[in-house]
Amino acid sequence: MTKPNYQNAQFMLSVAGLEQLPPDEGVEVAIVGRSNAGKSSVLNMLTQNKGLARVSKTPGRTQLINLFSLDDQRRLADLPGYGYAKVPEEVKRKWQRLLDAYLRSRECLRGLVLVMDIRHPLKEFDVNMLHWCSESALPVHILLNKADKLSHSAVTKTLQEVTKKIASYPNETTVQSFSTLKKIGLDALQTKLGEWYS
């Protein structure tokens, strides 16, 4: 399979329930993160399309699973971010159920990109996601986003700390630093996604 062209990403649909998803075939890669981790900016940088995912000053705008097609066989799934958004508890629980059901049942899901703010890595939500993925043998690639906010030595230190903490997970779990502002780390992310999509 050729490498996917991320600039070809097209919005497909938003779903509020699993029954609305397209057929469970081809290859899907999902991107998830706490609402203030910069997930939409990562998606827009990856696809070089500033308008693809809505970047909002109000964290938690993604309340549905948003699917983007790269070609006939490959898709990106933008999953609901939560853990920070000011929304009622019932709404949060609904998101969690949707997220959980999607991750458990989607056969074509090859990997999960977990976006974290490098200044606040491995929060409760992130650790829960890592545990869940390790139990399901789903590969995870962690993006420590907003690396431009720290010095080079602080980035290196945080990378080492996170690498050490995730070493115990039995599933494939990798980590890199990233900055949408300084355009740092895009090649490494595309290389990882290329492995999953091939």
pLDDT tens digits, residue range 141-151?
999 999 999 99
3-state secondary structure of 24: coil
Give me the DSSP letters along 140-198.
Answer: EEEEEE-GGGS-HHHHHHHHHHHHHHHTT-SS-EEEEE-BTTTTBSHHHHHHHHHHHH-
3-state secondary structure of 89: helix
pLDDT of the residue at 125: 86
- Alpha-carbon torsion (54, 60, 64, 68), positive or negative: positive
d(CA 139, CA 13): 25
DSSP for residue 136: T
| pTM, rounded to two decimals | 0.93
Question: Where do the domains of the chain lie, and which CATH numbers do they carry?
Answer: 6-197 (3.40.50.300)
2 pLDDT exceeds 90? no
